[in-house]
Amino acid sequence: MIIEIAAIIVTILLTALMCSGNFGVGSILTMVLDFPSLISIVILAFPILLRNGMWKDFVRGFKLLSKKYKCSLADLKRTLDAVELLQKQILYAGIILTVFPTIFVLGQLSTPEIVGANIAVALIVILYAAIFEMLLLPIHIEVKRRIIDYMEAE
């Protein structure tokens, strides 16, 4: 599973380099790095795990990427719940954070100079949400696989 996560990160970096074209690597990175959008997704998604006491369950998902790590079926199910909750929170955070700049753009169509930047902000949020989802997917699959293996062993 670590290979899948590394492949996702490398693919994203290579795509950014390929898209740099005439812009140069530095300017493409400044175009796709929007820390307020990234922080907003994190602020909307992660506190739910902390509030529900699921942070340790979520962290266990990363430990499961190591083949040597063992835990009970109950722990696996709690980890699956935590990962699925975070995936849904990231999806909904992405939707909410995309709708706000879109509404702003639609309200300001009379000033075309702000349209491009605000649409870019909306699209960056979708990109970040998709990247988070792709990074969580291997963990989700590993937890499900472990649950199936545990149930077959019994």
pLDDT at 24: 54
Q: What is the pLDDT of residues 18-71, one digit of tens each?
A: 555 555 555 566 667 778 888 889 898 889 888 889 999 999 999 998 888 999
Q: What is the DSSP string of 46-102?
A: HHHHHHTT-HHHHHHHHHTTSTT----HHHHHHHHHHHHHHHHHHHHHHHHHHHHHH
Domain boundaries, the chain: 1-32, 34-153
Q: What is the pLDDT of residues 95-148, one digit of tens each?
A: 999 998 888 888 888 888 878 878 888 888 998 999 899 889 989 999 999 999
The predicted model scores a pTM of 0.80
